[in-house]
Structure 1
Amino acid sequence: MRIRLIFCAFSAAAVAAVVWPFLFGGQLAWRDMLVLDSPGMTATNFGGGDLFARNAPQDGVLAIIAKLVPATWVVKALMVASAIGAAAGAWWLSNKELLPTLAAIGLAVANPFVIERLMQGQWSLVIAAWLLPLIAAAALHGVTLLVWLLMFVASLTPTGALVGLIVAVVCLRKHRLLTLALGALYTAPWAIPGVIATFRGGQEMNAQAAAEAFAPRAEEAVGTVGALLGLGGIWNADAVPESRHLGFALFGLGVFACVLVGARFVPRRLLVLAGVGLAIATLAWLWPTGMAWALEHIPGAGLVRDSQKLLLLALPGYVMALGHIPARHTVAAALALGCVILQTPDAASSLSVLRGTQAPLVDNNLVAEINERDVLFIDRHTLADIDGRLVVDPYSKVVNKVESGSLSVDGTLVDLPSPRWQAAMQAWEDNDRTALEDLGIGVVVEDEKIIAETSVTPHSVPWILTSLWLLSPAIAGLAYAGVLRNERRSNPTKI
């Protein structure tokens, strides 16, 4: 009983250290994270806008949920619940000895990958990272329905859908075909629009620049390989706790050394997953030209252009290895716990930037005047400066904004402006209202004022795929009921 209380207390402390900013009020606005209380029922939120559906189904789900409760409440609750799930998964994967289990819990909840991605604002990717150890544990123990439900939550983001499916299929011993089918269903809100966008000719990127810009990055004292081995190395140096710029990433190598101590107790399948994730991330750094070729020639490769994300595949193996350091290796277990804490000692303070803002993010009167029509903003682009924060333009979440999607990293253009945005801007410069109408644009806005209107009316929103995604847990439940019925028929109880 005493040791369980210690596990619970440590888990609570670890969870609180990373989710505390989500316990306050306000709308969430930091870099890639923009969660409004009431996002709109827009085409982009449901994967049908000018850009690839990178934020489906999460934005559409939040738009639907906001009809009942503020979307920010839901996201904040998901963050807390998922962090608790990470602690539970680490405990489940561990040998239940004190120090190894504490080290596993600490790594699952507050590893450098999680901290850096939170500082980049990628909240739904962090949810997937937190759930992966729990998915692996449930799969290894044959708790299939739980695996399917956790996959569903992880699939809020495309990367989460893919890694959740991979870990589940690799770790499950039964029902793999059904798992693949459900995994495919979970990807529908972004995969189907992505295929359509590919055939119609969507936004283009500078493949070589993208491969170089989003490659894993070296961290102080450990280089790029050392950063990856310690589960760090995100491409954006600004999304890194200050301690890691001062050499604390060295403790990540200590974590990796302790992982090697417990690795022999980890199923080979998890070690293979970890090796694959580390290898591809490293290869993308060593050979950006190869990544550029993949981005140009392999459909869907853009999902992994930020290749450091593939460290997600290493998380279950790392957590289980730390959690299975033998009891006789007390020094190694204590070292593991210390290194887990010291590799990001300033995590809690670094994450203070995630606290919600009370600043007005959009003009609700303008949103009402736009009235669901497609709108061209003359002076608003992909990112905006809101309350001193560089964040995704809030209007992209509440109206049918004609989006540029243009992105520069360190002064290099990575994503080119979308064809529709370029055509719309040219039409506006030429004062060609007919061309604007042909592009489906009903409103032109500058300085948050409507300066022109056309006869174009609002169009329907492609909400069906996201609605199907919301129903998929029920489909998973029905599939599991069918599995149980078939198993009972094939193994009748003897009287």
Structure 2
Amino acid sequence: MRNRLICTAFAAAAVLAVVWPFLFGGQLAWRDMLVLDSPGMTAANFGGGDLFARNAPQDGFLAIIGMIMPATIVVKALMVLTACGAAYGAWWLSNKELFPSLAAIGLAVCNPFVIERLLQGHWSVVIAAWLLPLIAAAALSGQALVVWLLMFLASLTPTGALIALVVALVCLNRHRLITLGLGVFYTLPWAIPGLIATFRGGQEMNAHAAAEAFAPRAEEAVGTFGAILGLGGIWNAEAVPESRHLGFALFGLGVFACVLIGARFVPKRLMILAAAGLGLATLAWLWPTGMAWALEYIPGAGLVRDSQKLLMLALPFYIAALGHLPAKQTVAAAIALGCVILQTPDAANSLSSLRGTNAQIVDEALIKFIAGRDVLFVDRDTLVEVDGRLVIDPYSKVVNKVESGSLSVDGQAVDLPSPRWQAAMTAWEDEDLKALEDLGIGVVVEDEEIIAETSAGSYRTPWILTTAWMLGPIIAGLAFAATVQSGRRSNPMRT
């Protein structure tokens, strides 16, 4: 009981240290994170639009929720709840001894992967990362329904859907076929639009530049491989706490050393997952040509071009290994706890930029006048400045914006402008409104003022796949009920 109370208090402190920015008001705007109170029912939010469906089903889900209540409240609540879930998952995976459990909880809630992804604005990826310890623990315990429900929540983002499915399939002993079926169902909001976009010819990528730009990155004092072992090394050096630029990533190697001590007490399945995650991330770093080949010739490989995300596969193993440090090795467990804290000692302070903003983000009158038509903004890029923060253009979340999607990293073009955007800009420069109309563009905007209109009308929002996805918990419950009923039929004497 004493250990449980201490671990609960520590978990609450760890959770608060990470999620405190989400306890304030305001809309969320930081780099790739843009969560508005009322997102629009736009094609892009539901996997359509000019770009690949990288933000489905999360954006469509938030658009639907935003019609009922502020979507920001839902996201903030999810961040808090899943962080608590990570702590509980770590406790579940641990041996319940004090220091090992504290180390496991600390790593589950506040690790370099989580902090760096939050600073990049990948809130839904962090939700998936926080859910993985719970998914692994529930799967190893044979609690299929819990696994399926957690998989659903992790599938807010494509990366989370795939990683959660892999972890569930590896850790479950039974119902793997149903798990696979549900996992595939959870991917439909982005998989089907992705297939359509692939066949019709969508945005092009500079595969070699992408492989190099999104590979794991070296961190101070540990290099690239050391950063990988310490669950850090995100491609964007700006999305890293200042302490890790000062050499505190060294403590990540201490965490890894303690993980090795506890590894022999952990199910081999978790070790296999960790080896796959660490190995593939390392391979992407050492062999960018191979990653470039995969991006160019393997459909869907773009989902893992940001290869540092694959380190998520190692999280359950790391957490379980720290949580199973032998009770007799109290010093090792205490060292593990210290290293967990010291690898990102400024985490709470560095996350202050995630606090919501109360600034006016979009012009509601302009949105109302656009009235669902496709709009070309001739002066707004993929990223814009909002309240002093560089963030995804908010209009891409509320209107059917013709999106460029172009992206450059360190001066190298990674994603080329979408074909429709290029054609639209050419038509506008040629003052050819008929060509804009043929492209389905009804409005042209500059400096948040309408400067031209065509007779092109609005189109129906492709909301069906995301709406079906939202029925996932019900489908998972029905699948579980069917397995229970099947078990009773096969064993009629069972009570």
Does residue 336 in structure 1 map to residue 327 in structure 2?
no
Q: Measure the CA separation in 2 of the matches of 1:491 and 1:219.
A: 57
Q: Secondary structure at the match of 2:441?
A: coil
Match of 1:413 in 2: 413
Q: Secondary structure at the match of 1:442?
A: strand
Q: Measure the CA separation in 2 of the matches of 1:135 and 1:494.
A: 28
Mapping 1:83-482, distance limit 5 Å: 83-482=83-482
Q: Which amino acid aligns with 2:394?
A: P
Match of 1:24 in 2: 24
Q: Measure the CA separation in 2 of the matches of 1:431 and 1:371.
A: 23
Q: Which amino acid aligns with 1:217?
A: R
Match of 1:65 in 2: 65
Q: Measure the CA separation in 2 of the matches of 1:425 and 1:144.
A: 51
State the 4+ residue runs in structure 1 displaced beyond 6 angstroms: none
8 Å contact from structure 2 (residues 85, 131) kept in 1: yes
Q: Measure the CA separation in 1 of the matches of 2:296 and 2:225.
A: 26
- Residues 387-428 of structure 1 show CA distances to partners (whole Å, capped at 9, x for unaligned) of 110000000000000000000111111100000000000001
Q: Measure the CA separation in 2 of the matches of 1:284 and 1:250.
A: 22
Q: Which amino acid aligns with 2:487?
A: E
Q: Secondary structure at the match of 1:255?
A: helix
Q: Secondary structure at the match of 2:325?
A: coil
Q: Secondary structure at the match of 2:16?
A: helix
Q: Which amino acid aligns with 1:160?
A: G
- Residues 42-101 of structure 1 show CA distances to partners (whole Å, capped at 9, x for unaligned) of 000000010000000000000000111100000000000000000000000000000000
Q: Measure the CA separation in 2 of the matches of 1:264 and 1:221.
A: 28
Q: Measure the CA separation in 1 of the matches of 2:493 and 2:96.
A: 35
Q: Measure the CA separation in 2 of the matches of 1:260 and 1:433.
A: 65
Q: Measure the CA separation in 2 of the matches of 1:231 and 1:158.
A: 20
Q: Which amino acid aligns with 1:395?
A: Y
- Residues 189-243 of structure 1 show CA distances to partners (whole Å, capped at 9, x for unaligned) of 0000000000000000111111111110000000000000000000000000000
Deviation at 1:268, TM superposition (A): 0.9
Q: Measure the CA separation in 1 of the matches of 2:494 and 2:465.
A: 45
Q: 1:377 to 1:345 in 2, by over 3 A?
A: same
Q: Measure the CA separation in 1 of the matches of 2:212 and 2:385.
A: 26
Q: Which amino acid aligns with 2:205?
A: M
Q: Which amino acid aligns with 1:132?
A: L
Q: Measure the CA separation in 2 of the matches of 1:71 and 1:210.
A: 32
Q: Secondary structure at the match of 2:384?
A: strand
Q: Measure the CA separation in 2 of the matches of 1:322 and 1:200.
A: 48
Q: Measure the CA separation in 1 of the matches of 2:283 and 2:146.
A: 34
Deviation at 1:327, TM superposition (A): 0.2
Deviation at 1:433, TM superposition (A): 1.1
Q: Which runs of 5+ in 2 are unaligned?
A: none
Q: Secondary structure at the match of 1:108?
A: helix
Q: Which amino acid aligns with 1:202?
A: G
Q: Secondary structure at the match of 2:376?
A: strand
Instruction: Give the percent of matched residue pairs that are identical in Structure 1 and Structure 2.
Output: 79
Q: Which amino acid aligns with 1:152?
A: F
Q: What is the CA RMSD across the aligned residues, in angstroms?
A: 0.7
Q: Which amino acid aligns with 2:32?
A: D
Q: Secondary structure at the match of 1:408?
A: strand
Q: Secondary structure at the match of 1:251?
A: helix
Q: Which amino acid aligns with 1:250?
A: L
Q: Measure the CA separation in 1 of the matches of 2:387 and 2:71.
A: 20
Q: Secondary structure at the match of 2:147?
A: helix
Q: Which amino acid aligns with 1:170?
A: V
TM-score by length of 1: 0.99
Q: Which amino acid aligns with 1:485?
A: Q
Q: Secondary structure at the match of 1:299?
A: coil
Q: Measure the CA separation in 2 of the matches of 1:92 and 1:52.
A: 37
Q: Secondary structure at the match of 2:360?
A: coil
Q: Which amino acid aligns with 2:290?
A: G
8 Å contact from structure 2 (residues 228, 278) kept in 1: yes
Q: Which amino acid aligns with 1:322?
A: L
8 Å contact from structure 2 (residues 18, 347) kept in 1: yes
Match of 2:34 in 1: 34
8 Å contact from structure 2 (residues 488, 494) kept in 1: no
Deviation at 1:491, TM superposition (A): 1.5
Q: Measure the CA separation in 1 of the matches of 2:427 and 2:331.
A: 69
Q: Measure the CA separation in 2 of the matches of 1:479 and 1:276.
A: 30
Q: Measure the CA separation in 1 of the matches of 2:75 and 2:494.
A: 49
Q: Which amino acid aligns with 1:229?
A: L
Q: 1:432 to 1:494 in 2, by over 3 A?
A: closer
Deviation at 1:490, TM superposition (A): 1.1
Q: 1:494 to 1:286 in 2, by over 3 A?
A: closer
Q: Measure the CA separation in 2 of the matches of 1:162 and 1:357.
A: 32
- Residues 141-195 of structure 1 show CA distances to partners (whole Å, capped at 9, x for unaligned) of 0010000000000000000000000000000000000000000000000000000
Q: Which amino acid aligns with 1:158?
A: P
Q: Measure the CA separation in 1 of the matches of 2:85 and 2:196.
A: 35
Q: Measure the CA separation in 2 of the matches of 1:74 and 1:141.
A: 29
Q: Which runs of 5+ in 1 are unaligned?
A: none
- Residues 85-131 of structure 1 show CA distances to partners (whole Å, capped at 9, x for unaligned) of 00000000000000000000000000000000000000000000000
Q: Measure the CA separation in 2 of the matches of 1:370 and 1:133.
A: 45
Q: Measure the CA separation in 1 of the matches of 2:385 and 2:411.
A: 18
Deviation at 1:493, TM superposition (A): 2.4
Q: Measure the CA separation in 1 of the matches of 2:193 and 2:341.
A: 42
Q: Measure the CA separation in 2 of the matches of 1:301 and 1:494.
A: 46
Q: Secondary structure at the match of 1:12?
A: helix
